[in-house]
Chains A and B, each alone.
Chain A
Amino acid sequence: MNCRECVEHLYEFLDRELTPELEREVRDHLEDCPPCGEQYDFEELFLKFLRARCRTQGAPAELKKRVLRELFGE
């Protein structure tokens, strides 16, 4: 696997959506190629960052009450 192919599959690799064979190929390449390894770290950090920033919010308590009231008349 070359760098272009590796970068193409990087997201799927991070998402754990690759077939076992492809996953192995990407992993092998990442271990052998520092620049691709760096990009992997960068993309991984980005995804973690995204998740952390966007999940702080939940449904407001008022909405929960409203839904319960509507569904069960409470």
Chain B
Amino acid sequence: MPRIGPGGSPLTRGTATRPATDVQHRALVPDEEAQQLDEPGAVESTGRAVGRRLNGDRIADASDREPLLTPQVRAEYHPRGTPGGAMTEQPRRGMRCQARHARHPPHGAARGAAAGIGEHEIGVRPPAHQPQQRFDVRPLDPRIFAHELLEFGQLHLHGCRQAQALHEQFVSELAEPIFDGGIEILDRLEDGERDDAVHHGARNLPRGALLRNSLCLTSLLLKPMTNALPDLKRESFEREALVHLDVLYRVALRLSGNPSDADDLVQETMLKAYRAWDQYEKGTNAKAWLLTILRHAFINEYRRRTRHPETVDLDKIEPYAVFPEVQDEDPQGAFFDRIVDDEVLRAIDQLPVAFRETLVLSDVEGMSYQEIAGILEIPVGTVKSRLFRARQLLQGKLYDYAVEMGYIKGSPA
């Protein structure tokens, strides 16, 4: 859950870079709700690291961060370095919330707003080591609240290995759209874990910072998330899946043997993949995952169409080594260079499908034995032997062709 980010308030950054989302959130959280949260007394200042963030390897203390919405900040907005390096270039939360203010003058201002999620509570004497500051008003921005809650959930999950992995992945992949990333990670968690994290976050927020109505809280948290999902889904799908369109097309073309079927196969694969996108563990191996789907789609279609599936006894195919044949005449294999693309593809298409798919995945798409084994659902040893024979067989075909064309003397086997 969580949002984590290499520094900076995710929320701030997220909203700064995604105005559309911002609007969405604002629209989703009615002002009454927001006001509820603002109620004085709802927050009991703790002054401790209410809003922590996971920042790289360390958990930054709240004191690293900017106060949320201080009058000073609003009055004298200017980028200012923070120990965490956060938010120096970004517009501050306060900037936007100022507008809110104008519409809803905070009640109980001096006593401290419920928004305590942040670092320094309003009206509370700051820790002795900090310069005296007065924070009058701090209306709760529900988005900030949701964000802080997520952080707590993440803190909790951080102890688990999975959370750690997600966190690292998230930091490396999604440094920028941090808030979105938080949602995305939330989305990746199993239902149970998600609830666990949310509840943990709720339990462990400083008492005063908690909404008294946990239902309200949950809806605050979940509403914007649920609503933000389609966009995120599309975004991550484009980033991780659509970039493999060329690979899918090439493999589809070799499997199906013609461009029109390849188109359909790719189309079907992408649709299935998009529908099942939630099941894909983001950031793992989208290419292999997509190819597995493509292959299944191909097999189903192939079985449907042909009553007599290919019945080649692979073990009876006896490839021969070409190198000994050309060792004297053309050990550098210069004759290969004279063979054009189409001829090579045609030779590949003549291979039995089990050899063809192995060879294409390995030699054209550069996948590892392990990946191929996963996609084709065969042992790694079988990948090796198929690959060995597929290459020999293909070399033999190309050699025969070269001899036929007079590119090399030799003698067709």
Residues on A close to B: CB < 8 A? 11-12, 15, 17, 35, 38-39, 41-43, 45-47, 49-51, 53-60, 63-64, 66-68, 70-72
Contact = CB atoms under 8 A, between A and B. Distances in A.
The CB with the most chain B CB atoms within 10 A, among A11, A59, A60, is that of A59
B271 A70 contact: yes
B369 A15 contact: yes
A59 B249 contact: yes
A50 B270 contact: no
A58 B80 CA distance: 48
Nearest to A63: B263
Contacts of B289: none
Contacts of A46: 333, 336, 391, 395
Instruction: Kindly list the 8 A-B residue pairs having the minimum CB-CB distance in the complex, ordered from nearest.
Output: A59-B249, A58-B246, A54-B364, A53-B344, A59-B245, A49-B336, A45-B333, A53-B341
B267 interface: yes
Contact of A59 (B246, B274, B326, B366): B246
Contacts of B237: 71
Contacts of A47: 363, 391
Q: Which of A54, A57, A58, A70 has the most C-beta atoms of chain B within 10 angstroms of its own C-beta?
A: A54
B345 interface: yes
A43 B248 CA distance: 26
Contact of A42 (B267, B274, B331): B331
Contacts of A70: 267, 270-271
A61 to B, nearest CB: 10
Nearest to A12: B384
24 contacts: A11-B388, A38-B323, A39-B327, A41-B331, A42-B331, A42-B333, A45-B332, A47-B391, A49-B333, A50-B344, A50-B363, A50-B394, A51-B366, A53-B340, A53-B341, A54-B341, A57-B246, A58-B246, A64-B245, A67-B245, A67-B270, A70-B271, A71-B237, A71-B270
